[in-house]
Amino acid sequence: MQTTLERNPAEQIAAGALIVPVFEGEKESRFGAARLVESGEVAGKAGEFTLLHNPAGAAAERVLLAGAGKAARFDAAALRKLVAGSVRFLKEKKVLSAAVLLDGDRSGDEFASAAVEGAILGDFELDRHKTANDKKALASFAVVCPNGAATLEAAVSRGQVLAESQNFTRALASEPANLLTPLAMAAAAREMSQQQGLECEVLERSELERLGMGALLGVAQGSAAPPALIVIRYRPQQAASPSHLGLVGKGVTFDSGGISIKPSADMDKMKYDMCGGAAMLGAMRAIAQLKPPIAVTAFIPCVENMPGSRAQRPGDIVTAMSGKTIEILNTDAEGRLILADALTYARRQGCTHLVDAATLTGAIVVALGHIHVGLFSNNDEMRDRVLRAARAEGERMWPMPLDDEYKEGLKTPFADIANVGSRWGGAVTAAVFLKEFTEDTPWVHLDIAGTAYLDEAQPHMPKGPTGLPVRTLVRLAVEWTN
Ligand code: BES
Ligand code: ZN
Ligand code: ZN
């Protein structure tokens, strides 16, 4: 898709459709919309689309009046969603060139970025494995901003980098487990790194054994597909910050549950159990292009969790890289095991701050549904940094507790720690387990089990991976101070 910034008046923009946000309670009288607004046919409610052909006074073939809700509540996140929904609406009608009008209070950088992101995210299709050749992609998209500042060009290209990286994550995350094995994921990481000028190292089984990653290897041992730990390094030319951010993502390419096998209903969704890892790859892709002033390294432990004669058993005791022993009481609680070793390795590689993202627990879906990411942290400042970045990106996150009392549930007479506690507060005990491996390093854990993919399509997004929390992670790095 070709993305451009137009500073000419909206009336002069030639496009298949010009998207015009219409606000609740506000009069839009351009392009022949006056009577529709007066009659109430166009009310400006969020999600309302009205397509006008041969609109009065416009060079565009069509005007799409897009309901935007109340103007006072319309922020960049709302615009991103509105543009994505509009693009999906237009594509249904085979309109493949579009523009969006940004005027009034919506002429700033955040809005211009969000508009481009909306278009690229809305254009995304999961039809890679469909053989029919009627696939349609948006050919061009323009941000029309007659009163914008000189910084808008940069904002538009930043939006493009972010959304393309988020789509990279979505595409990778949706690949099925027969095609995307741990080593295939490592190959994808290598290819991306080479294209973006990043350093990529893949640690294979023998190296993981040498490092003593018993927790990760225990999960991997049931699968014929060997494990891999992907490490991708970004180093700024002039580091303005002494900090070193580590991004750790769960890369379980398929989670059958192992010997503690899952029920068959919805087991296909467990191909998404590498969404956290895919998000870290997407974030590194954007970071390579936006060049933040801080060193960032991604660590992505990749395994397949399978049952079989070589699989680990409930009751097994493994020794993690940190030296702690873990009793495996449920082989389906595998994410925390591979993350334990990856977090230890990240600390030993010199990371001063850590963020992990993982489709870790069904319990977080019970707690927060599909709206908010569950956020856990051992450090208030780090928690606030991530929450601020998330808020600015419209990726909703909710702080969750991490009190020491929750650790009681992970006590076992047979090892230092058990990998599961009781049923209650399952998302918290999973986070408390991870905390044991972060020691005193400031760390945020993002449980994205409810938000990394959609079970049902929404107007602005198809069913499948969402690409969360790529934008938050990139903003965290780009806006890093100290
Ligand atoms: N990958 C799952 C968590 C998950 C559940 C992700 C639903 C997306 C949707 C994870 O490995 C898992 O199986 N967790 C168990 C933990 C339990 C055994 C303590 C769970 O949540 O049931
Ligand atoms: Zn599991
Ligand atoms: Zn899992």
Question: How many other C-beta atoms can be found within 10 angstroms of the C-beta atom of residue 197?
Answer: 9
Q: What is the mean pLDDT of residues 256-266?
A: 98
Centre of ligand 3 from the C-alpha of residue 255, in Å: 5
The model's pLDDT over 83-112, given as tens digits with 9 standing for 90+, comes to 999 999 999 999 999 999 999 999 999 999
Q: What's residue 133's pLDDT?
A: 74
Centre of ligand 2 from the C-alpha of residue 179, in Å: 20
Q: Whose CA is nearest to atom 13 of ligand 1?
A: 332
Atom from ligand 1 closest to the CA of residue 260: 18
SS3 string, the chain, reads: CEEEEECCCHHHCCCCEEEEEECCCCCCCHHHCHHHHHHCCCCCCCCCEEEEECCCCCCCCEEEEEECCCHHHCCHHHHHHHHHHHHHHHHHCCCCEEEEECCHHHCCHHHHHHHHHHHHHHHCCCCCCCCCCCCCCCCEEEEECCCCCCCHHHHHHHHHHHHHHHHHHHHHHCCCCCCCCHHHHHHHHHHHHHHHCCEEEEECHHHHHHCCCHHHHHHHCCCCCCCEEEEEEECCCCCCCCCEEEEEECEEEEECCCCCCCCCCCHHHHHHCCHHHHHHHHHHHHHHHHCCCCEEEEEEEEEEECCCCCCCCCCCEEECCCCCEEECCCCCCCHHHHHHHHHHHHHHCCCCEEEEEECCCHHHHHHHCCCCEEEEECCHHHHHHHHHHHHHHCCCEEECCCCHHHHHHHCCCCCCEECCCCCCCHHHHHHHHHHCCCCCCCEEEEECCCCCEECCCECCECCEECCCCHHHHHHHHHCCCC
Q: What's residue 134's pLDDT?
A: 80
Active site residue 262: yes
The model's pLDDT over 345-404, given as tens digits with 9 standing for 90+, comes to 999 999 999 999 999 999 999 999 999 999 999 999 999 999 999 999 999 999 999 999
Q: What's residue 240's pLDDT?
A: 82
For residue 292, name the pLDDT band (cuts at 50, 70, 90).
Answer: very high
**Ligand 1 in reach of 415 Cβ (< 6 A):** no
Pocket test for ligand 1, best of 361, 364, 424 (most atoms within 8 A of CB): 361
- The residue from 336, 347, 383, 471 that is catalytic is 336
CB contact at 8 A, 375 and 446: yes
Instruction: Please tell me the pTM assigned to this model.
Output: 0.98
**Ligand 1 in reach of 335 Cβ (< 6 A):** yes
Atom from ligand 1 closest to the CA of residue 262: 13
Is it the case that residue 414 has pLDDT exceeding 80? yes
Is it the case that residue 135 has pLDDT exceeding 90? no
Active site residue 336: yes
Question: How many other C-beta atoms can be found within 10 angstroms of the C-beta atom of residue 234?
Answer: 23
Is it the case that residue 405 has pLDDT exceeding 80? yes
Is it the case that residue 66 has pLDDT exceeding 90? yes
Bond before 469 cis per omega within 30 degrees: yes
Atom from ligand 1 closest to the CA of residue 359: 6
**Ligand 1 in reach of 333 Cβ (< 6 A):** yes
The model's pLDDT over 303-316, given as tens digits with 9 standing for 90+, comes to 999 999 999 999 99
CB contact at 8 A, 49 and 66: yes
Give the sign of the dihedral formed by CA 110, CA 112, CA 113, CA 116. positive
What share of the chain has pLDDT > 90, as a percent?
97
The pair of three-digit structure tokens given for residue 411, joined into one six-digit string:
């006590």
The model's pLDDT over 18-46, given as tens digits with 9 standing for 90+, comes to 999 999 999 999 999 999 999 999 999 99
Is it the case that residue 451 has pLDDT exceeding 90? yes
Centre of ligand 1 from the C-alpha of residue 237, in Å: 40
Q: What's residue 136's pLDDT?
A: 87
**Ligand 1 in reach of 337 Cβ (< 6 A):** no
Atom from ligand 1 closest to the CA of residue 419: 19
Centre of ligand 3 from the C-alpha of residue 41, in Å: 48
- The residue from 262, 324, 388, 407 that is catalytic is 262
Q: Whose CA is nearest to atom 5 of ligand 1?
A: 362
Q: What is the mean pLDDT of residues 198-225?
A: 98
Q: What is the mean pLDDT of the chain?
A: 97
What share of the chain has pLDDT > 70, as a percent?
100
Phi and psi torsions of 188, nearest 5°: -65, -40
The model's pLDDT over 137-151, given as tens digits with 9 standing for 90+, comes to 999 999 999 999 999
**Ligand 1 in reach of 273 Cβ (< 6 A):** yes
Atom from ligand 1 closest to the CA of residue 429: 19
The model's pLDDT over 155-207, given as tens digits with 9 standing for 90+, comes to 999 999 999 999 999 999 999 999 999 999 999 999 999 999 999 999 999 99
Centre of ligand 2 from the C-alpha of residue 333, in Å: 5
Centre of ligand 3 from the C-alpha of residue 58, in Å: 52
Q: What is the mean pLDDT of residues 448-465?
A: 97
